[in-house]
Amino acid sequence: MSKKETIPVERRIFDLEQTLEISKSFSSVLEFSPLIESILYICMGQMKVLGAGVFIAKDLDSKTLVLDDTYTGLDTDASICYKIEFNHPLVKLLQTTAAPLTIKELVKKLGSTVDISPLTSLNPSLIVPLIAQNKLNGVLVLGERIDLGNGTKYSKYEKDHINTISALAAISIRNSVLLEMSTTDMMTKLKLKHYFFSILDTKIGNAIEVGVPISIAMFDIDHFKIFNDTYGHACGDVVLIRVAEIIKEGVRSKDMACRYGGEEFVTMLYNCDGKKALKVAERIRKTIENEEIEYKGNSLHVTISGGVATLNPDSKAISAEAFTDIADQALYYSKEHGRNQVNHSNKDIVFEPSIDDEDDDDDEVED
């Protein structure tokens, strides 16, 4: 008979208090990427490991779990595809057991013939299922464990503790996904207008409080009706999706791209002055101008017009709607003066082609 594990009352109380704080922490973060980062660092601290990562569904309708790029302290192998299909035996096993397992335990339960190289190649010390409402929505991978004098093996108490944390994490991830669904345009995968305004209002206040500039750039697809009238609305959808992809790829992860309505889009550029914002907008315009969009054997050439507005640190706070209206007026100016161009609401700010467009200054601006 194995010796019963004895945990001091003081530690149990401390861990309960920690769990409560962790729950509050998870609940306070709704945006997906910051939430995943929070989950990883909290689990690393609680389990004393040097690395962690999470396999998660990248898209709302995805049938595949993918290693999120927020992983830290894990060595990946370029020859391995870090994906786990939902129909993989591993998923069924983790959902059924609903408990943390070591790689050795996984192999024993699945059999040596089942390929779990996306996990084994990471040399994890523990695999933890993330389950909410009886459904697996992620797999937490804990890396090498630090030996603080008691060895690196996980006790039953520690496994129970990380399982409790993972349950809280799974609920938070589900809530984040539900928020994503309710605030995202399902066709373009960009944020919806109402959510954009909500975040922009907050960011305007933050920017003025800490003394950094904030800019927005609005875009409108030129002569969009022609695509619908000539090739049909399905073609228009293809154009919208590709333009949205280019706009999203053209801004930093900490910025936000939104489908404003119809063929209009708007981006928020935090801690970005007018000159740099105009450069970002011009780069997006040029990328779209040079893009060939294929539709049923036809090569489509698309252009956009843009308008940029900026609030400097010494500006007075205004509403998100009022701020967007300023950019919209600059957009109107671009369309009235020939289209396929970008202008700033401040006519003293103009794009300078002599500036090296390959410069990555826009990615180096601090939050």
- Asked if 251 and 280 count as a contact pair (C-beta separation under 8 A), the reply is yes
CA atoms within 13 A on the CB side of 257: 22
25 CB neighbour count, 10 Å cutoff? 15
Instruction: Please determine, for residue 224, whether its predicted confidence score (pLDDT) is greater than 80.
Output: yes
Give me the pLDDT at residue 30, please. Answer: 80
Catalytic residue, candidates 17, 31, 180, 263:
263
Give me the pLDDT at residue 31, please. Answer: 80
Give residue 41's pLDDT band: very low, low, confident or very high (50, 70, 90): very high
Choice between 360 and 181, residue whose per-residue pLDDT is larger: 181
Give residue 347's pLDDT band: very low, low, confident or very high (50, 70, 90): confident
Any residues with CB less than 8 A from the CB of 39 and at least 6 apart, and which? 26, 54, 140, 169, 172, 173
Determine whether 158 is an active site residue: no
Amino acid at 277: A
- Name residue, tokens 């996904």: 177
pLDDT over 90 percentage in the chain: 80
Instruction: Please determine, for residue 366, whether its predicted confidence score (pLDDT) is greater than 90.
Output: no
Domains assigned to the chain:
9-183 (3.30.450.40), 191-344 (3.30.70.270)
To the question of pTM greater than 0.95 for the whole model, the response is no
- Asked if 303 and 243 count as a contact pair (C-beta separation under 8 A), the reply is no
Q: For residue 237, what are the CA distances in angstroms to 233, 234, 297?
A: 6, 5, 16
Instruction: Please determine, for residue 355, whether its predicted confidence score (pLDDT) is greater than 50.
Output: no
**Ramachandran quadrant class, 180 (left: phi over 0; alpha: psi -120 to 50; beta: rest):** alpha
